[in-house]
Amino acid sequence: MGDPESCGAYFRLRLGNEEREHFEAAFLDSRNRLIATERLFSGTIDGTQVSPRIVAQRALALNATAVVLAHNHPSGHPEPSSADRAITAHLKDILQMLDVRLLDHFVVTADQAVSLAVRGLL
C-alpha cells in the first residue's frame, strides 16, 4: 500500500472483473502496513449503498489508523461520479473525527484505476 500505482493494481485485481459493484476497504496500521482488506458492501451493476457507520466500525474494530477505499465500475468507465466524490468526502470527515486517516479512494475497472487523491479530490 506504499503508492497509488500499487494500490490501484491491488484493487484492480480484486475488483476489476466483477459484474456487480462492490465497495472494499483496506485497513492500515500506523506504519501504513495492511491489517486487512474487506469487502464491505455489494450492489447492482451500477451502484451500491455505502454505510459510513460500518466503515467506521470496522476501522475501530481493527484498530486501524488509516484506510484506503476502493470500488469498481462494472461499466468499464473509471471516472468518479459526483456520488463517488460525495461519499468520499463524507467518509473522510467521519473517519477524521475518529483519528483515522482516509488516504485514498480508488475507482477501478479491469483496465484502469483512478485515484481520487492523485486527482486532488480527497
Residue-wise pLDDT for 68-81, tens only, equals 999 999 999 999 99
- Domain presence at residue 10: yes
Helix (H) or strand (E) holding 5: helix 4-15
pLDDT tens readout for residues 25-57: 999 999 999 999 999 999 999 899 999 999 999
121 belongs to a structural domain: no
Q: Is residue 56 part of a domain?
A: yes
pTM for the model = 0.95
* Per-residue pLDDT at 26: 98
Asked whether residue 41 is domain-assigned, the answer is yes
* CATH number for 97: 3.40.140.10
Residue 108: which domain range? 4-115
Cα–Cα distance measured from residue 80 to residue 62, given in angstroms and rounded to the nearest whole number: 28
SS3 of residue 94 by DSSP: helix
